[in-house]
Structure 1
Amino acid sequence: MLRDVDTVQVVATGTLIFLIIGGAGVGVLTLALLGSGVLHLGHPDVDGPVSLEAVAGFTGAFGFGAAIVNELLGGRTSGMIAVAAAGGALAAVPTAWLAARLSRAARTMRTDPTPTRDHLAGAIGLVVTPIPTGGYGEVRVRLAGQPVKLNARADRPIPIGARIFVVEALSETSVHVETY
């Protein structure tokens, strides 16, 4: 009679292999998130049916899905491992399709253009440091929804708190303003 014997549950070889495949999928996903084009097929500007994200989605879902099915079946025979692989493929195909669609949508998403000094003209704001005659003060305007503090010149003195509008952008960080 055995006493005080620890039991160790052995992971099936098929499950271990499937977990390694799933881990490789996570590694490929890491490459995809870092922007690497290692597995991208075709021209780099064209998103083909096999993008890096699709490979990552397929590999990860296949490996982890097959490992789950293999453990649920108690897969110790080659037939059970084949069924587990089919279950992994059943999970992998829609995952790869979804990963490709989501990554394509993220890459082709419309965004606003980056604001430049040309966008400053006409902006409305407030004087935060008084503007003297012939010198610079500071104003705060909203540019693309963000508050921006700029150096400002004016033809006449403007006190703190006065509402202004930008007539011209003198440089990237300075503007010519008038009271509003």
Structure 2
Amino acid sequence: MLRDVDTVQVVATGTLIFLLIGAAGVGVLVLALLGTELLHFGHAHVDGPASTEAVAGFAGAFGFGGAIANELLGARTPGMIAGAAAAGLVAAVPTAWLASRLSRAARNMRTDPTPTRNDLVGALGLVVTPVPVDGYGEVRVRVAGQPVKLNARADQPIPIGAQVFVVQALSETSVHVETY
């Protein structure tokens, strides 16, 4: 009877160790996603032989894969625990490779440049608040595919609903418009 209790403790201990390794991997991944530069030494923009995401993926898959294999094998001997570790390694290597590829793809993803006030010139829009001669009204224009509401001035009064053309960007949030 006492021998059965010892067997349960060995399986639970092996599984617990694998689960702790997996949890550490998930913790490193969370820190990497938050941008803490945890495993960067020296210059911050130089990756070492393995990215933080790859290390996190490896540790997480190794730990959780090893825990699953340990439970399925009912590992009681060091040889069976080594088999569970080998199964964890089989899960960890492709996971680390995939994490490395995905993180590199995300870092190197091309994006459109941030629109500036120069991008406002030439935009077509619609008056949403009448534009008086001596003050500001409001227009809605599309910049880089996004609707933007701006303060607008004009040489002549422009009623609500009129279609306008941006002639000049007075600031980041105000423009000079004409009807078209």
TM over 0.5: yes
Q: Does structure 1 retain, via aligned residues, the 8 Å contact 2:66–2:86?
A: yes
Q: Deviations over 1:99-145 (max 9, x none)?
A: 01001100110011111111100000001111111221111101121
Q: Deviations over 1:63-85 (max 9, x none)?
A: 00011111111101000001111
Structure 1: which 4+ aligned runs deviate by more than 4 Å?
Answer: none
Q: Does structure 2 retain, via aligned residues, the 8 Å contact 1:12–1:75?
A: no
Q: Paired residue for 2:70? A: 70
Identify the structure with the greater helix proportion.
Answer: 2
For residues 41 and 97 of structure 1, the distance between their equivalents in structure 2, rounded to whole angstroms, comes to 21
Q: How does 1:25-44 map to 2 (within 5 A)?
A: 25-40=25-40, 43-44=43-44
For residues 118 and 63 of structure 1, the distance between their equivalents in structure 2, rounded to whole angstroms, comes to 53
Tell me how large the CA RMSD over aligned residues is.
1.4
The answer to whether 1:13 aligns with 2:13 is yes
Q: Does structure 1 retain, via aligned residues, the 8 Å contact 2:40–2:46?
A: no
Q: Deviations over 1:51-97 (max 9, x none)?
A: 11001000000000011111111101000001111110110000000
Identity between Structure 1 and Structure 2 (%): 79
Q: How does 1:1-180 map to 2 (within 5 A)?
A: 11-40=11-40, 43-180=43-180
Q: Deviations over 1:137-180 (max 9, x none)?
A: 11110112111111111111111111001000001111000112
Structure 2 residue matching 1:12: 3-state secondary structure = helix
Q: Does structure 2 retain, via aligned residues, the 8 Å contact 1:40–1:50?
A: no
Q: Paired residue for 1:4? A: none
Q: Which runs of 5+ in 2 are unaligned?
A: 1-7
For residues 156 and 99 of structure 2, the distance between their equivalents in structure 1, rounded to whole angstroms, comes to 59
> So what's the TM-score if we normalise by structure 2?
0.91
Q: Which runs of 5+ in 1 are unaligned?
A: 1-8
Q: Which amino acid is the alignment partner of residue 155 of structure 1? A: D
Q: Deviations over 1:6-40 (max 9, x none)?
A: xxx65531111101111111111111111111113
